[in-house]
Amino acid sequence: MSERKRVLMAMSGGVDSSVAAALLVQQGYEVIGVTMNTWTDDIPESIQQNQHSGCCSLAAVEDARAIANKLDIPYYVMNFKGHFAATVIDYFIKEYVAGRTPNPCIACNRYVKFDALLEKARELECDYVATGHYAMIGEDPAYPGRKLLGKSVDRRKDQTYVLHNLTQEALAHTLFPIGGMEKPQVRELARQLGLVTADKPDSQEICFVYDNDYGRFLKERVPEAIVPGPMLNTRGEVVGQHQGLPLYTVGQRKGLGLTTPHPMYVVALDPERNAVIVGEAHEVYSQGLLASDLNWIAVPELTEPVRCTAKIRRMAPEAPCTVYPEPGGSIRVVFDEPQRAVTPGQAVVFYQDRWVLGGGTIDRAVN
């Protein structure tokens, strides 16, 4: 490149960010590696030392530092504990207490990786922040200068769903070096480069819930919010008792403790009555939803109905729908076919072909 650009590379200690950093070095960027320390102090040291225990653990820091040494780039661990607790953990708890089901990875990307870290990059006079996400950034020829968020080449690993909150400012200063690669290619390149993370398993759990037991985490943090109450069917009849609203989510079947002629599922959570609403399988489906807290990427705003596809959770298939703008900046989504377990608090993300149109937070299901 004619002018050497400086990049702040977010290194999680995994194979994806390791290869992303290596590619940037190969491409001639001046790379500064950084791991964001977000782990709370109550996580046992034995968990933090576990090499598979998440993206911010002590073991992850050791792996990231080893990669930085291998690539001969400067490396730092930056303390984001307070910011992470306020914008991700507190949000996670608040949403569950309110009877909603949040996605903390979306909040982390929004407020930590592409907000606080981007600000840190500016302080270090970096031109870009880079991560190991599976996504791509493009430009819309119809709108010069407008950035687009696109699906990665590896559709199975695509992470655009959790990146839908990226603003134009963030997209203009972000690089996704492995977005054009398949996961097996990433691992093979890591082996060729002799990176210690080449065969490291992917982290699956939420980093601050180290044992993936949301119930345990919430009982420890907000025991006063775990209050038993009635379990009602869709006709309002009491059919059982629940153990605490935050311990349930829409679509759940197991653990309801009900004996009924037909399998029952959680249809909705009602914080006002502290009630879990259950129904039969067909009652879990909804024709549409209302959403707010929207971020549009491919367009500045939505001013008229638009046809697209939508995902209502990360692993859900895209569903054809029509999106209607509503007063106050919210939207109404009508699906061509009813969708299962439309869940308040989760994100709904809209696509047109390979590009992200935008996304927001589901307020409620509608029929």
Residues carrying an active site annotation:
108, 207
On the 0-12 / 13-18 / 19+ scale of CB atoms within 10 A, 207 is buried
Q: Which among 138, 141, 165, 161 is positioned nearest to 149, based on CA atoms?
A: 138
The set of residues, in sequence order, having a beta carbon less than 8 Å from that of 141 and lying 6+ positions away, is none
CA–CA gap between residue 32 and residue 39 (Å, rounded): 21
As beta bridge partners, residue 174 has 129
CA–CA gap between residue 76 and residue 55 (Å, rounded): 15
DSSP 202: P
CA–CA gap between residue 40 and residue 37 (Å, rounded): 9
- H-assigned helices in the chain: 15-26, 45-48, 58-71, 81-84, 90-97, 104-108, 117-123, 168-172, 183-192, 214-221
